[in-house]
Every structure is written in C-alpha cells, then in structure tokens.
A and B are shown apart, each in its own frame.
Chain A
Amino acid sequence: MAYSDKVVDHYNNPRNVGTLDKSSAEVGTGLVGAPECGDVMRLQIRVNPETQVIEEAKFKTFGCGSAIASSSLATEWIKGRKVEEALTIKNTDIVKELSLPPVKIHCSVLAEDAIRAAIGDWKKKNGVAETEQAAVSAN
C-alpha cells in the first residue's frame, strides 16, 4: 500500500500526541473504535469556559498509519476553533486532505466520531445541550 506524503508526515511526526486530565471539567474525552477492529482513537480537548474555544487538543491512536494521520490531523484542525465550529469538520474533509484510498475511509470516519465524542463528553460535563448533530453521533 502506498501512503500519501501527508499520511507519512503525520505518521513520522504526529502532532499533539498526549493525554489531558480527563477528570477536569474543561476537558472532554472521546474514545472510539475497538481493539478487535484494529483501531482505537482517543481524542481529548480542553475548552476555555469563557470563549468556548478549544485551546488544547491531544490524541493517542492504536491503528494503521491512516488512522494515526486522521486523528493527528483532526487535533490540528480543531485546535483554536470554537466547539460548534469543530463540529462542522467532516470525514470527507480528512479523506481529501490526506488523499486516503477507499479502504481507509473508515479511518476518517473514526476521526470525525472522535471529535464528536470528545465534544459530547465536554458538553455533558458542562451541562451544555447537545446539538442535533452530536446526538446523532452518540448513537
């Protein structure tokens, strides 16, 4: 399998790897995927309670190079955005940016799910009403 240069770059130099304190009220954690399926993503955000801006985003991913790249890219994109803005990121945007082949589209879907799950967790903690979109992703 040939990987695009961008996938290789994220694989070699993953952005925003790490762990945030999941017990903090400002932190939302999304854990998606399953070990049996060969990919698990954990994406965490720290949101400024005043501005609703995602000031920090961290990830860890067990999965193929495309899964690692998708989650790494996702953290880059959501950092500095407002929560509601981050929710507009679509898996197809990730597919396009990383030139993922059809068999790797599920990696981008998982990254989108991870963003939604992390935001959903943060909203739950902070008593923010779920948007329709986020509620769908929780199913």
Chain B
Amino acid sequence: MSTVGSQIEVPAGVSLPIYMDNHATSPMDPRVLEAMMPFFTQKFGNAASRNHSFGWEAEQAVETAREQIAKLIGATAKEIIFTSGATESNNLAIKGIAEMYRERGNHIITQVTEHKAVLDTCKRLEKYGYRVTYLPVKADGLIDIEDLKRAIDDKTILVTIMAANNEIGVLQPIREIGKICHEKGVLFHSDAVQAVGKVPVNVIADNIDVLSLTAHKIYGPKGVGALYVRRRNPRVQIAAQIDGGGHERGMRSGTLNVPGIVGLGKACEIAMNEMENEAAYLRGLRDRLKAKFETELDYVHVNGSWEHRLPGNLNMSFVYVEGESLLMGINDVAVSSGSACTSATLEPSYVLKALGLGDDVAHSSIRFGLGRFNTQAEVDYVAAKVIDIVKHLRELSPLYEMVKEGIDLTKIEWQAH
C-alpha cells in the first residue's frame, strides 16, 4: 500500500524538504554571507585593536553595521550594543536594568506569552527579591492596556513586553505600551526579535527604551544579536552582566564577533530596503495557505489575532487531529506544533493555553512560518499535503466521528491519564 499523502504531486521547481519554520530560524541570505566572507580570513582584525590597520578595518566594519541596524529601528549608532543573540540581549536588558534601578524600585511587569528568555529571567529576579507581574492576554493574544495601567505602581521600574510573538505571531500594541510607560516614568523594554525587519519598528515613535533583536531571524547568521539602549529622553543605564575589557561602552565586554556583526548589519540593510514588498508577498502566501485550509477542511481555526499579526505567521489548529501525528505525515515539510508530544516537557504550548484554548486544541496546532525564500508552489504543495493528511487522520479520529454524530465532547467523562 502507498504511503499517506505520497500521491500529492511535487510541483516543478519545488525541492523537498520544504522549510516553513522561519520563526525558529531563517536561512541566511546569500547577500549576507557574501558581505561576511572577507571578515573571516582576510579582514580578521580585532575591532578593539587601536594601533594597526587590521583593527581599524574591523572597527570600521562594526561601525557600518551599527549604522545599518540603527537605521532599521530609528535609533542612532551609539545606542546599539552587540551581543551573542536575543537570549543574551533579553538577559542583559532585564537583569541590567533591575540591578541599576534597584534603589528606585523592585517591580517588573511582563506578560504570560513572552519567550522563555524573558520569563525565566524574570523568574530568577523573583528569587533575588524582585516582584514580577505577569499580565494575562486576551483570547486574541494581546494584553489589555487597562491591565497594564493598573499594574504599574510606584515601585515599578521596568515593563518588558514583546513586539511580536514567536508562536502565534501576534503584534502587541507596543506604541501604546511605550506611551503609558513614558507617562508614568517607567522604562520599556521590548523583545522585538520576531518583529524587527518584518514589520515597521521605530524606537522613537514606539516609545521603546531598550530593544532586543537577533540576526538569525532576519536571514543573518546565528550567534549574533544586539540590544538598543536609549541615550536620550531618558538616558537608560544598564549594569553589565559580563565583565571584562569594557567593550560596548562597558555594557558588554568581550571581543566583538566581527563577521557576525557585519552579517547582522547587512541583514538589517536588506530588510530596510525590502521589508515593505516582502511583507506584502508573505501576506499573500499566508492568506493563500489559510484560504486553502478553510475551503477544504472543517473545524480549523486560527490561533491569535488575525488583524494584529506578522505577515509570515499562520498558527492554525486542525481540531480532532493530534499535532505530532500530523507532523509525522508531512515529514517533508518543516513546521512546528504546539502539541505536547513534540516538546521536551510533554506539556502543550503555554502560549496557546494562555489564549484560553483547551489543551485539546493546543495539541492540534501547527505553526507555519513563511519566509523570504518560500514560493507559491511550495505553499500549494504544503496545503495539499496537510489537507490530505488531516483528512486521513480524521478518518482515524474517534473525536471527529463523535462530533460529526452531534456528541458534545465536553460532556464526556474522560479518563485522564
């Protein structure tokens, strides 16, 4: 007998496997690699070497990258601090501010669907005597601005809210959040890893004081990121978490990763020039994918706000089909699932649970992360394949059969195990 889904024809120009998991990481743009290449073997200088041309050359390249990054987010070059990536940027921002502003207060506000790099950093600070408020999200994944206003008190030093969520792609109202923070004299940090280069982010207009970004989500190399630290209105101070040679204005010591930084700069420059067209292109692909699912299948729904969402994100639940079994059927397509079975912890996605979705719906979710190099032919293939597998698995699903018979699944006494 044939393998399920094997009869779906692979269109011309499509090679398998297809990568559609661009929120996890993105392939490097060849233009980025080209910009980086000379900095490995020829221009290998240490950017901190002040006495010879190798150092000057490296420093010049780093400063160019700083400009490219600053331009993309509406900052100035001096406000960009290089790090090893977004996890470090988030740690540095939150711990660095907590330490520096300890005398002013000990209260931090965040929200429940943040990345673990933010949540776990906040949890550690709680052990050190800080108070953290985790704001809930509404069913659409956005925080309620009124909740934020109520949560700020005279001990609040920092609000940290992501710009775009990595699972459901929803865009938090950062401009409004920043405005409230500035009115109340509280610093605003945003983990903008998924948003920068995908949707317009401007630290001035959006009232952001500190912002984390990383290269590998925007077609740059892994292992390099940056932290924007505002220098005026207000001037933000951050206590270093890594001590050493006093690089990066004392905020982050360590020899700069020059090739990586050049790559990050180039990735930002490309994003700056191409973001508008690319967003429209990705939105088109994403809408096409969604429309195909909604036409061919019943009991599918989008998780999180559709209106406030990254152009390349589609997070959909194929109810009554378990996510891991769906992934198994589409093993020539790289996507992610919120299913417990696919995670190390055997817990379904905390992000989807925070939306108030039942665990059963969370188990049925698939995240499609469309990116720069995906094509319409790939979308058509993925759609056909997923539809075929979902139909197959629903024939096997007792839940789908019961629902079709009109049985209310919530009324059944399940034997949890």
Contact = CB atoms under 8 A, between A and B. Distances in A.
A131 interface: no
Contacts of A62: 320-322, 396-400
B417 interface: yes
B17 to A, nearest CB: 15
A33 B328 contact: no
A103 B343 CA distance: 11
A17 B1 contact: no
Interface stretch (A7-15, A82-90, A119-127): A7-15
Which 10 A-B residue pairings sit nearest by Cβ, starting from the closest? A34-B414, A35-B360, A36-B359, A42-B398, A60-B398, A64-B324, A38-B363, A65-B328, A34-B416, A64-B341
A3 interface: yes
Contacts of B346: 103
B415 interface: yes
A128 to B, nearest CB: 22
A12 B1 contact: yes
Given A13-B1, A62-B398, 6 more contacts: A1-B324, A35-B360, A35-B414, A36-B416, A62-B396, A68-B396
A11 B398 contact: no
A33 B395 contact: no
Query: Which of B396, B399, B400, B416: most chain A Cβ within 10 A?
Result: B396
Contacts of A103: 346
Nearest to A34: B414
Size band of the A side of the interface? Answer: 20 to 34
Contacts of B328: 3, 8, 11, 64-65
B358 interface: yes
Interface of B: 1-4, 320-322, 324-325, 328-329, 339-342, 346, 348, 358-360, 363, 395-401, 409, 412, 414-417
Interface of A: 1, 3, 8, 11-14, 17, 19, 31-42, 60-65, 67-68, 103, 106, 109-110, 113
A11 B325 contact: yes
A42 B329 CA distance: 21
A113 B363 CA distance: 22
Main secondary structure of the interface of A (DSSP, over half): mixed
A107 B341 CA distance: 11
Contacts of A42: 398
Given A62-B321, A65-B324, A103-B346, A33 B417 contact: yes
28 contacts: A12-B1, A12-B4, A17-B396, A31-B398, A34-B414, A34-B416, A35-B358, A36-B358, A36-B363, A37-B417, A38-B322, A38-B340, A38-B363, A40-B398, A41-B398, A42-B398, A60-B396, A60-B401, A61-B396, A64-B322, A64-B325, A64-B339, A64-B341, A67-B322, A68-B396, A109-B417, A110-B417, A113-B417
A36 B398 contact: no
Nearest to A138: B415
Contacts of A36: 358-360, 363, 414, 416
Contact of A38 (B339, B397, B412): B339
B414 A14 contact: no
Contacts of B398: 31, 40-42, 60-62
Contacts of B401: 19, 60
A66 B216 CA distance: 34
A4 B342 CA distance: 17
Contacts of A65: 324-325, 328
Contact of B409 (A8, A35, A41): A35
